[in-house]
Structure 1
Amino acid sequence: MRTTLWLAGLFAAAVALALFAGENQGTVTLFWPPHRIDMSVNLVVLLLLGAFALLYLALRTWAVLLDLPRQARRWRAQQRERAAHEELLDALVQLLAGRYVRARKAAEGAQARQVAMDAAGEALPHGATLRAVAHLIAAESAQALQQRDLRDAQFNQALALAGGSDTTPELREGLLLRSARWALEDRDAAGALARLDELPQGAARRTLALRTKLKAARQAGRGAQALDTARLLAKHRAFSVEAARSLVRQLVAEQIRDTHDAHQLQAVWAELDA
């Protein structure tokens, strides 16, 4: 439709110009002592249009030339941004493939590129998130390599970035969940539960958080807490009906087995009735 209207407008302009030029017998006289120049009105109109077109092209060319440095800086920034994203993706791929040393090096490369961009005044809107994810991948690789000091250093840097105003709450929640999983792998149930306690209420009731809490509570020997968590998971349908019943029975049996007197047994029985 737009093309049709454009063509119709061109034809109308051509017809109007032909009528005007064909019937116009006027002349324009320019006096430039001792010279006199006579030109038709049509020629004057064409010259004015040509001069306008040349002036427009000259101004556009000048604007493009003035904008070249900014375009060059923008192109270089895009290249650096692309390289940072490529290194981050490579780090993730290497992590999934189990090549932890390469994953850590690629993640550190992505961090370095992002720091360089910030120093050059080319900070990305999502730069903090990118760096936090790179630190998380490096921490995950260090955990797999049993390099706990490096893991903690990378995790703390990621957590500091996740606390900024330009990141989402989900980033911090994900970091805390990963830290809790690492603590479980290190048989540090108390540390895992402490990390889970830092989660907001909504995040703490998600299935992944509850599964981690169940494992940590069982590892710490907190039968009552494990039983409550198992019931929540069953309510959220995290297990099949049979699996949920079996797990609850197992936890109840463990609680009863851990009682040492009638008072403790009565307390456990009262909790079961509740």
Structure 2
Amino acid sequence: MSNFQFGVNLGFATKRWPEPEAWTALVRETLDLRLVQFTFDLLDPWWPEADRRLLAQKTRRAAEAAGVTIHSAFVGLASYTYNGLLHPEPAGHRAGLEWWRRAVETAAELGATAVGGPLGGMSVRSFQNEERDRLYPRLLEDVCSISEWAAAAGLQELLIEPTPLVREIPHQVDDSLQLLADLKDKTATPVRYVLDVGHALYRPLYGADASLDPWLEALGEHIGVFHLQNTDFQSDSHWGWPDPRGCFDVAAFAQTLRRHRLTDRPIFLEVFYPFELADAALLENITQSVEHCRRLLG
């Protein structure tokens, strides 16, 4: 038997079940799960501090009462739309760094042990003008600062998610390794990666023979969690099961993790739905998706 830790990213609850008592009930009673990754789409670190703390405390109490563990707090769809730490304008960059400071505080207030997400994206102009060499040292300083804030707040990990976009850092195995090397012995908390299967297997960037093996062989010991989604390998789909468009094999994924001896890393189902989708249809799909993944993970 495997010892997979399986949970769900709360992205599915965005705009529908923001009340902590509502999503905790869904997680425990409908999905029969005890582990979640919180999304900042449910509680934005930018909100006024007093209100943010009030809502975070309420969320923490609701999770504890329901027996739900908030493993980590993660960048959501809203914050991912910004350039973040790679914003080309100094003022935009300062705002991105301040967002992370507040995100660390919010994660700690929620009772999470880790905070994370993609770091940011270069603008088209920055990328075309080959400004990576200018922006990268600043990014390293930022990650070190965030790790110091995380350690001071009592968090145990900073989770960075590689994305399949060449304007983002990191976006491939080589620059993921380089980032780790450049941060070695410089961070106050461990930096680990979030490996999203839909990102790592994105064929338009990584080729028709894209595989998880290069990622796991190079970064295995540095992977903190996995994101699981159904995909056609041609888009960052984040579909559930069943979906006629998707062809991701969860059983094969489980076998791959066993082969690489990575069964002890948490796996979070991360599915996003159109806001116009009927609530009942979403609940049916997220429930079936959880059951599908749980069964095939073993």
In the superposition, the TM-score normalised over structure 1's length comes to 0.30
Whose strand fraction is larger, Structure 1's or Structure 2's?
2
Larger radius of gyration: 1
In the superposition, the TM-score normalised over structure 2's length comes to 0.28
Whose helix fraction is larger, Structure 1's or Structure 2's?
1
